[in-house]
Amino acid sequence: MQILSSKLVFPDVSEASEDGLLAIGGDLSTARLILAYKNGIFPWFNEGDPIIWYAPLDRMVLFPKEIKISKSMRQILRKNTFKVTFNQDFKSVIRHCKTVYREGQGGTWITDEMEQAYIKLNELGVAKSVEVWLDDKLVGGLYGMDLQTQNIPVFCGESMFSLVSNASKVAFIALAKKLEKEHYKIIDCQVYNNHLASLGAREIPRNEFMKFL
């Protein structure tokens, strides 16, 4: 593990530990965050901790064409109960991702500093959101880094939330369909998650993931 200085540079991902820990320190400037994602690295730390950067040995990804839509979800989508928008209310999406209760989690990894950093990235057009509405109320969504803005056809998902059943699934499915039409290669989901696995995401080796970048 390397300790970062103010110099805008990261060690190669091959230097990460077995659990993916690559570096500590640095900052959450827009330039550093963009550099990190372009090189297969993302920040993940709790409030009060130093900034920690990860590059897991196995990467959870979704190939957009492999999205799994269950029979029950197809029925929900056909009813058009939910309305989906793209990048219309980023601030509300990240705030909900930060504050929504998740069973089994004592807190959130989206610190105030991180929230503001991604809002700045959104203002630059790099971070984007998906919103899911029910009766004009925001009930679900997700946000992440759109590396197509850096000429890399990859969307790096960061977090999602759901206030009503199936809302986050609707957001993820809508994103996958949109990115498939726009010829994105993968959606980066970072680490294994049962919820995303049920939607078709799977792990690939880090070296394979890096080829997409």
Least confident of 8-22, 96-110, 142-156, 177-191: 96-110
Structure tokens at 168: 């986050």
Instruction: Give tens-digit pLDDT for 73-113.
Output: 999 999 999 999 999 999 999 999 999 865 544 446 799 99
- Given this model, what pLDDT does residue 117 score? 97
At residue 46, the pLDDT reads: 86
Evaluate whether 2-56 and 60-211 have a shared fold: no
What is the mean predicted confidence (pLDDT) over 147-159? Answer: 97
Q: For residue 18, what pLDDT is reported?
A: 95
- Written as six digits, the tokens of 71 are 């029979």
Residue ranges per domain, the chain? 2-56, 60-211
Pairing of strands 2-4, 21-25: parallel
DSSP 56-107: -SEEEEE-GGG----HHHHHHHHHT-SEEEESS-HHHHHHHHHHS--TT-SS
Mean pLDDT of 179-195: 96
Quickly name the fold that domain 60-211 has.
Aminopeptidase (3.40.630)
| Residue 48 confidence (pLDDT) | 85
- Read off the pLDDT of each residue in 18-33 and give the average, rounded to a whole number: 97
- Rounded Cα–Cα distance for residues 90 and 117 (Å): 12
Query: What is residue 107's predicted lDDT score, i.e. its pLDDT?
Result: 47
Question: Residue 101's pLDDT is what?
Answer: 67
CATH architecture of 2-56: 2-Layer Sandwich (3.30)
pLDDT confidence of residue 47: 83
